[in-house]
Amino acid sequence: MKPVSLIQFLIEERRAGHINAELSLLIEVVARACKRISVATNKGALGGVLGMAAGEGDAASINVQGEAQKKLDVISNEILLEANAWGGHLAACASEEMEDPQPIPDMYPKGNHLLLFDPLDGSSNIDVNISVGTIFSVLRCPDGVTEPKAEHFLQAGTEQLAAGYVVYGPATVMVLTFGHGTHEFTLDREVGSFVLSRREIRIPEATGEFAINMSNQRHWEAPMQRYVGELLAGRDGPRGRDFNMRWVASMVADVHRIITRGGVFFYPLDAKIRAQGGKLRLMYEANPMALIVEQAGGAATTGRERILDVPPTGLHQRVPVFLGSREEVERATHYHREVD
Ligand code: AHG
């Protein structure tokens, strides 16, 4: 069968009435920016891009989340901002790395879309040559708003027009949804274009594989202790079978494994992070991943409610995340709801 490029796929989606020309251009621009990030990550030490970004004096640069920034965090953020500034498809951008939304410079035309991104998720893995990724989400700019502020981005995940991620692993792969199924594109490095590699991905409903940072176990709430305790008890426990565990510490890589062979991912609430509401960011990580996973037949909750229904209260709001194979997400969520 003839390979289908991302551009061809976007034209098909326009003809099907799933997207308009502006959203098609937006995805092309994001894909192009991600190719540049892929090149930068692939160079590793040879590109001089490993290590911490420099801040004031000798200190490392700290982002809005209070986290030290890696050089590649900063480079990836700049690549995405620059690529998206001039095309006329955006009203504004918001990045996990920046406190406030970035307006489109006055010299360029403005569009009707809002773009949110985590430019380089899992960046603690950069220096050890383990997969990292970019996550993005697209919203409609509310009618009549010419200078979008943070409040205009605070739309529930159900309002997303598109969501996607790019994983920079052994292959660079983009996973994309417009709310009509989830599809995968692999970067053909020789040709320089993303090529459709899986259409209408389906996540198996049942799984024997889970992903969680077990070092936080002692801090978890009782329902999480119970759920994981039952998995660890294996065939002698109440589940009557053995489960395997994986944890990359790059959400993009963990989600990509789940999209590919099933599994379930948890970043639950725990005593250490209770005050901040969770570890992962609703607008930059949880919402786009939830749409991608739901569109592939999986489920995504906070342990209490569907992620896509959470009313956002802040651009950098954090939430607990349970996502992946439907049966396990539903069971773990049920354990939490039972005790509330
Ligand atoms: P960061 O981008 O700051 O490295 O955070 C990564 C996120 C997510 O990608 C991953 O699943 C999780 O944080 C890992 O958290 P732990 O380090 O607590 O395992």
Ligand 1, atom 15, residue with closest C-alpha: 249
Task: Compute the distance between CA of residue 276 and CA of residue 264 in angstroms, rounded to an integer.
Answer: 23
Phi, psi of 96 (to 5 degrees): -60, -25
Secondary structure element (H or E) that encloses residue 325, with its range: none
Do the annotations mark residue 221 as ligand-binding? no
Atom 16, ligand 1: residue with shortest CA distance: 249
302 C-alpha to ligand 1 centroid (Å): 17
Task: Read off the DSSP letter of residue 52.
Answer: B
Please tell me whether 285 is known to bind a ligand.
Answer: yes
Residue 265 C-alpha to ligand 1 middle, in angstroms? 12
Contact between 264 and 328 under an 8 Å Cβ cutoff? The reply is yes
Query: Per-block average pLDDT, block size 10, for the chain (340 residues)?
Result: 94 98 98 96 79 63 68 93 94 96 93 97 91 98 94 98 97 98 97 97 98 98 98 98 98 98 98 96 98 98 98 98 98 95
Pocket test for ligand 1, best of 124, 167, 216 (most atoms within 8 A of CB): 124
Residue 216: per-residue pLDDT: 98
Mutate to test the pocket of ligand 1, among 251, 266, 323 (most ligand atoms within 8 A of CB): 251
222 CA distance to ligand 1 middle (Å): 23
**What spacing in Å lies between the alpha carbon of 123 and ligand 1's midpoint?**
8
161 CA to centre of ligand 1 in angstroms: 26
- Dig out the tokens for 222 from the structure: 């009782």
Q: What is the ipTM of this complex?
A: 0.97
pTM: 0.95
Which of 254, 138, 149, 142 is CA-nearest to residue 207?
254
Instruction: Report the b/e string of 258-281 with b at 16+ CB within 10 A.
Output: bbeebbbbbbbbbeebeeebbbbb
Max CA-CA distance within the chain? Answer: 66
Q: Which residue, judged by its Cα, is nearest atom 19 of ligand 1?
A: 249
Q: What is the secondary structure of 144-162 as a DSSP string? A: T-SS--HHHH---GGG-SE
Distance CA 259, CA 290 (A): 12
For residue 248, give the ligand 1 atom closest to its CA: 11
Measured CA to CA, the distance from residue 143 to residue 133 in angstroms comes to 32
Cβ(14)–Cβ(24) below 8 Å: yes
Q: How far apart are the C-alpha atoms of 301 and 278, rounded to whole Å?
A: 13
Alpha-carbon 116 to chain mean position: 10
Tokens for 196? 């459709």
Q: Which residues line ligand 1 (CB under 6 A)?
A: 67, 121-124, 213, 249-251, 254, 279
